[in-house]
């Protein structure tokens, strides 16, 4: 079965309690469980990773990317300034989708720029946790067409 990485950056371990007016009530554990159910239907295997550390995220991407068919990443605040995450994604030559729970374009100006999006297939934002499912559907279709 094709395997997809689902990577979440800083503070996303606090989903469910963190700024619930913006990010909603779902915990990361609940979100991952939902994604696993969807992945089973789509015949995809998921590997989850969350870290609050930029270096750990990069180490994970470097180690796992050569062995998988795609990656869904929510780089959280690193989206807006981490050239190192951007370079890690560009280096591994993998189809990557950037996902955000909130609609960045309705928020502070510093959130409206992603330094990561230019090296991704695309960016999904503003659909809450459903954005991750949308990204998974993309991979399901894209892999079938290969």
| Alpha carbon distance 26, 108 (integer Å) | 23
| Alpha carbon distance 103, 83 (integer Å) | 22
The CB-of-53 to ligand DQA minimum distance in angstroms stands at: 14
| Alpha carbon distance 51, 10 (integer Å) | 6
Whether residue 23 lies in the annotated active site: yes
Residue selected from 52, 81, 87, 111 as contacting ligand DQA according to rule CB under 6 A:
111
Query: Does residue 76 belong to the site contacting ligand DQA (CB under 6 A)?
Result: yes
For helices 54-64 and 83-92, the axis angle rounded to 10 degrees is 0
Among 100, 105, 130, 138, which one carries the catalytic annotation?
100
Q: What SS3 state is found at 131?
A: helix
Query: Does residue 74 belong to the site contacting ligand DQA (CB under 6 A)?
Result: yes
Point out which span in 36-44, 76-84, 86-94, 112-120 binds ligand DQA (CB under 6 A): 76-84
Residues recognised as catalytic: 23, 100
């Amino acid at each position: 079965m094709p395997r997809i990485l689902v990577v979440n950056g800083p503070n996303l371990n606090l989903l469910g309690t963190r700024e619930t007016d913006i990010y909603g009530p779902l915990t990361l554990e609940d979100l991952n469980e939902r994604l696993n159910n969807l992945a089973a239907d789509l015949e995809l295997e998921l590997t989850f990773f969350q870290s609050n550390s930029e270096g750990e995220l990069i180490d994970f991407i470097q180690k796992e990317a050569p062995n998988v068919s795609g990656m869904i990443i929510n780089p959280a605040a690193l989206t807006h300034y981490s050239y190192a995450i951007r370079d890690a994604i560009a280096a591994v030559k993998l189809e990557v989708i950037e996902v955000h729970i909130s609609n960045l374009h309705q928020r502070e100006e510093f959130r409206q720029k992603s330094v990561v999006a230019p090296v991704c297939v695309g960016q999904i934002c503003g659909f809450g946790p459903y954005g991750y499912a949308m990204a998974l559907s993309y991979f399901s279709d894209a892999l079938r067409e290969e």
